[in-house]
């Protein structure tokens, strides 16, 4: 698939960071780990991957803004209309426990809209990517959301709040409404890959609260370009600003929304 110059830069950065992370993943017991907060681990590997991505992207596009997980503050660019939104390691807890389900996520935002997204799963060597208007792909294959039309056949993904997060009651309420009517709900610990899997038709839908912009940014354009519907949980909200998202294929979107939104 022929993509834009920006997509090429992003794919290269994701692969380079992925190679470094795989190396560290092989020595996961030896990683120097510090605690950022309850259940929110950060490692040397995480910071190293971000440095690799930043060097690749900002060398190629020095005028763009930068917004990433491991930085304390957003860095506005000379070009105020474009910014990179980066999560160097989504699924850090999985990574540190030796579970091969984590990803590099890179998005490009233009005038408030995500126009290019890349999610790379180095453990499985799966590169999910999309450009606005050009479709979504995994490696060389076109992505399409699932064709399932009945809730009882559908598998959904979500996140479960960990240590001390305030949204546990809401999430338990969601599960009580969704579980009786579907084929299952999964919690695999990487919102970026949850979105990629909806785009690939592996999950039929996904919802989650209390996310950060860098967890979701790349996945938004990938899901849309694969034919999925995606909205904030609050219809009048903003996905990236509010940190809440719900998505599914077209036939299941309204039924899922009805359950989650009550």
CB atoms closer than 10 angstroms to residue 140: 7
Query: What confidence tens digit (pLDDT) does each residue in 230-241 have?
Result: 999 999 999 999
Nearest to 177 by CA among 196, 193, 197, 156: 156
Q: Which domains are delineated in the chain?
A: 5-142 (3.30.540.10), 151-261 (3.40.190.80)
pLDDT of residue 4: 94
pTM of the entire predicted model: 0.95
Structure tokens belonging to residue 137: 């792909």
pLDDT of residue 79: 97
Q: Find the range with the poorest average confidence among 113-127, 128-142, 165-179.
A: 165-179
pLDDT at 22 over 80: yes
Whole-number Cα distances in Å, 67 to 119, 159, 167:
16, 23, 25
Whole-number Cα distances in Å, 208 to 7, 28, 109, 156, 188:
27, 28, 21, 11, 12
Considering only residues 14 and 32, tell me which one the structure prediction assigns the higher pLDDT.
Answer: 14
Binned at pLDDT 50, 70 and 90, residue 38 comes out as: very low
CA angle, 221 then 45 then 41, to 5°: 80
pLDDT at 40 over 60: no
Query: What confidence tens digit (pLDDT) does each residue in 167-212 have?
Result: 889 999 999 999 999 999 999 999 999 999 999 999 999 999 999 9
CB 183 within 8 A of CB 203: no
CA atoms lying within 13 Å on the CB side of residue 212: 16
């Amino acid at each position: 698939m022929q993509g834009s110059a920006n997509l090429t830069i992003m794919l290269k950065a994701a692969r380079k960071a992925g190679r470094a992370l795989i190396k560290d993943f092989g020595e996961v017991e030896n990683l120097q780990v510090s605690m950022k907060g309850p259940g929110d681990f950060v490692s040397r590997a995480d910071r190293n991957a971000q440095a690799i991505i930043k060097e690749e992207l900002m060398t190629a596009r020095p005028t763009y803004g930068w917004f990433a997980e491991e930085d304390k503050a957003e860095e506005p660019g000379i070009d105020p209309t474009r910014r990179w939104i980066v999560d160097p390691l989504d699924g850090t807890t999985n990574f540190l426990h030796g579970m091969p389900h984590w990803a590099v996520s890179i998005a490009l935002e233009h005038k408030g809209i995500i126009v290019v997204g890349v999610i790379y799963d180095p453990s499985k060597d799966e590169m999910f990517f999309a450009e606005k208007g050009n479709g979504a792909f995994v490696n060389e294959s076109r992505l399409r959301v699932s064709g399932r039309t009945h809730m009882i056949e559908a598998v959904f993904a979500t996140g479960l709040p960990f240590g001390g997060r305030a949204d546990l009651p809401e999430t338990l309420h969601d599960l009580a409404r969704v579980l009786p009517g579907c084929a299952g709900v999964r919690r695999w610990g990487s919102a970026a890959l949850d979105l990629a899997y909806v785009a690939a038709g592996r999950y039929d839908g996904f919802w989650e609260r209390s996310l950060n912009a860098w967890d979701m940014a790349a996945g938004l354009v990938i899901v849309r370009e694969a034919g999925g519907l995606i909205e904030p949980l609050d219809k009048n909200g903003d996905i990236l600003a509010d940190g809440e998202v719900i998505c599914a294929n077209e036939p299941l979107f309204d039924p899922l929304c009805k359950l989650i939104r009550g």
